Chains A and B, each alone.
Chain A
Amino acid sequence: MFSNAIKLIFKTVLVLFLSGCAAGRAYLPGDVPPMHMVREFSDDEHVSRTRDPWEGFNRSMYKFNYEADRFVFLPVVAGYEKAVPRFARTGVSNFFTNIREVQTFYNCILQTKGKKSLVTLGRFLTNSTIGIGGLFDPATAFGWRRENEDFDHTLEIWGVGTGPYLVLPILGPNTVRSAGGFAVDGGVRWAIMNTIDPFGGTGARTEIETGSTGLETVDLRYRESFRYYDSDYPFEYNMVRYLFSQERELKIIR
């Protein structure tokens, strides 16, 4: 079922891409010119810094994600909230967050951030042991702040530009660089899992891994409060694109 979903997404993406990336422009030949047009206001400084040459595709993907949320993810999350008590959901979130400390750790090292990498290592060891495999988060109580690093930021430090804005299926707002970073982090994780092979002896490795991936996906959506088109603001897409770059910038500062 999962692979079918992936095929469907892949097909949708392909069709959208082939149907043309460029968004329809504001004024087309044959249009009756409106009373006010953008060229009147071209002397003001623009606000958005995100290049969006594939806006047509991105907008379609934005809509696709809205529908995917509506028909698949949000009902699943609602069921999850109903079936699983809050403390257990927090445990699940802690567990997957703890696994992601590994990603933060090696990216800190790649970015030569000594202190952050030590804190992260300390957090991972503490939470994996005292925190019972990451279900609890005592490290934060000890005053070790959670860091969040990914390969996208490593690329940034290495001087790689962000590339254009890109809305990915399911994953949502990204840039070409962050999409690449996501793929690299995913690959590293897969390699680590393959090497350690924690479920190798259980005889049900595939089932456990599929279940774990499914649960992680649900947990991710459960924790993300953003809802597509929830603002009812006609320019939400533009706002989200702007805030995405803004948020990224603030994150990098820290």
Chain B
Amino acid sequence: MKIAGGVLLVFLLLIPAFAWADSAGYGYSIDDSYAATILGTPQNLRPDTRGEVPVKTMVLETDQKKPEIFFYDRGLRYTVAFQNRKAPLVFLIAGTGGSSKSARIGALMANLYHAGFHVIALPSPTFPNFIIDASTTHVPGNLSDDANDLYRVMEQIWDQSKGRIEVSDFLLAGYSLGGTEAAFVAKLDDQYKVFDFRRVLMLNPAVNLYNSVSRIEWLLDRIPGGPRKIGTFYNRVMEKCTDFYRKGDFVAIDDDFLFAAYQAQLLNRDEAGGVIAVSFRIGSAGMIFASDVMTHGGYVVPKNRTLKNSDSLDDYFWTSLHLSFLDYFNEYFFPYFRSRRPGLTKEELLETLSLGSIEGYLASSTKIGVITNEDDFILAPGELDYLRRVFGPRLKVYPRGGHLGNLEYRDNMAFLIDRLRSSTW
């Protein structure tokens, strides 16, 4: 059945197509930012990570009593890959809606393990498992709260692990929203010094959460009928893919199929953008529902309802899919924090959701570096310049790769590992 992979493939299926970039200078080959984001790095451009990586899933047990509908949740799940000798330890933070077993975490883990690091990967604070088990408020998205939760969890995980491994020093890296969160966690660590991170890497981070999310949501404005018609859009895209599959001689829905679809220009650019935004919505639907159930927020689930395992969730799923992250912010997130801090204005809250709120720290802390791309569409106009200004030489910008599409490209991976190893930027 291979359903775990299937979930991913349904979205990977969906491919735009543009000419391959010429390889002058930088060898990552996909020059359309949406295509790069969806396809990632072609196998032959990745580093060789053959050989077993001893990845283990661990559970950090939490004693919270859980709602029946989450009966299967037995604690926060994180993954580890440990060396059997003394080595530096990297903590990884996943991006929006990502688990500690997401594909990008898997790739980072394999490469870092082969480079000789111990690795511990954490799910994103926007991931349902984290919302249920590790979030103090159960309302994800508030960077400083989420960083506090992450830091506490990292301490607990370290307590669980330290008897089993020898660690020389600590490092931290996160991608996408996880990159932004890494900056906030680093700041906390400078205060509490539990790990005293030697180096912190932010990979394709959001500069301003609200801007980045808005930019992803805007991609849905360009699909036929707009954001209210994501079901129709999804069905059309799937029909195209099924049709393409039927006509070709494909063995399975795999990388070969994906690249063939890409080269055949199966989807246009607007459709590719729509696919990215719909997969984002699928993640955020899980986040909204999990948070609402945990807080009895009455947002999509009746607040006096206790859901049973046998209850149908179809209607909640459909509703949550159609709510944008901006709806979530305005109707759920902001009211929640205003009820805890009367007088809080939307502008004040928005201000806390950006790197700007810790700019002084970021500008002066030489251990923190940023790696991103010229064409990363989660950055609003001016934000790349902002990063240049704040980080100066500690910023590395690649000419293409979209949002994380070039993460696994061998030059990128080599640079990333080199930065983690070196003592100066």
**Which residues of A are at the interface with B, using a C-beta cutoff of 8 A?**
23-28, 30-38, 40-41, 43-48, 55-57, 59-60, 63, 66, 145, 172-173, 224-235, 237-240, 243-244, 246-247, 249-250, 253-254
> B245 to A250, Cβ gap below 8 A?
yes
Residues of B within 8 A of A38 (CB): 315-316, 318-319
Could you say which of B79-87, B184-192, B227-235 contacts chain A? Answer: B227-235
> B242 to A231, Cβ gap below 8 A?
no
> B309 to A59, Cβ gap below 8 A?
yes
Chain A nearest Cβ from B99, distance in angstroms: 6
If A38-B315, A234-B289 touch, does A56 touch B310 (CB 8 Å cutoff)? yes
> A45 to B310, Cβ gap below 8 A?
no
> B235 to A47, Cβ gap below 8 A?
yes
B392 at the A interface (CB under 8 A): no
> A28 to B305, Cβ gap below 8 A?
yes
Interface centre among B128, B238, B293 (most CB of A within 10 A): B128
> B72 to A66, Cβ gap below 8 A?
yes
Residues of B within 8 A of A173 (CB): 1
A240 vs B2: C-alpha distance when bound (angstroms): 10
Residues of A within 8 A of B77 (CB): 232
> A44 to B3, Cβ gap below 8 A?
no
Interface of A (DSSP majority class): loop
Number of A-B contacts (CB under 8 A): 163
Interface residues of B in 29-57 (CB under 8 A from A): none
B6 at the A interface (CB under 8 A): yes
> B285 to A235, Cβ gap below 8 A?
yes
B103 at the A interface (CB under 8 A): no
Residues of B within 8 A of A246 (CB): 6, 10, 238
Could you say which of B295-303, B341-349, B355-363, B378-386 contacts chain A? Answer: B295-303
Interface residues of B in 80-131 (CB under 8 A from A): 99, 123, 127-129
Residues of B within 8 A of A244 (CB): 1, 3
**Set B129, B235, B318: member contacting A232, Cβ < 8 A:** B129
A8 vs B231: C-alpha distance when bound (angstroms): 41
Closest 8 A-B residue pairs measured CB to CB? A31-B302, A26-B315, A24-B311, A23-B312, A229-B72, A38-B315, A45-B232, A232-B129
Chain A nearest Cβ from B341, distance in angstroms: 21
> A34 to B318, Cβ gap below 8 A?
no
A113 vs B346: C-alpha distance when bound (angstroms): 65
Can you give 10 A-B contacts (C-beta < 8 A)?
A28-B305, A37-B300, A59-B309, A173-B1, A232-B77, A233-B286, A234-B128, A234-B290, A246-B10, A250-B253
> A26 to B316, Cβ gap below 8 A?
yes
B70 at the A interface (CB under 8 A): yes
A235 vs B311: C-alpha distance when bound (angstroms): 12
Chain B nearest Cβ from A236, distance in angstroms: 9
Nearest to B232 among chain A residues (CB) is A45
If A41-B319, A235-B313, A235-B317 touch, does A32 touch B231 (CB 8 Å cutoff)? no
> B99 to A32, Cβ gap below 8 A?
no
B246 at the A interface (CB under 8 A): yes
Chain A nearest Cβ from B252, distance in angstroms: 9
A63 vs B72: C-alpha distance when bound (angstroms): 9
> A44 to B308, Cβ gap below 8 A?
no
If A26-B314, A231-B4, A231-B7 touch, does A35 touch B128 (CB 8 Å cutoff)? no
> B232 to A63, Cβ gap below 8 A?
no
> B128 to A232, Cβ gap below 8 A?
yes
Residues of A within 8 A of B245 (CB): 250, 253
Interface residues of B in 208-246 (CB under 8 A from A): 228-232, 234-235, 238, 242, 245-246
Apart from the given pairs A44-B232, A60-B310, 16 other A-B contacts in the complex at a CB distance below 8 Å: A25-B315, A26-B315, A35-B332, A36-B327, A40-B322, A41-B318, A44-B231, A45-B231, A45-B232, A55-B310, A59-B310, A60-B309, A231-B7, A238-B313, A238-B317, A253-B245
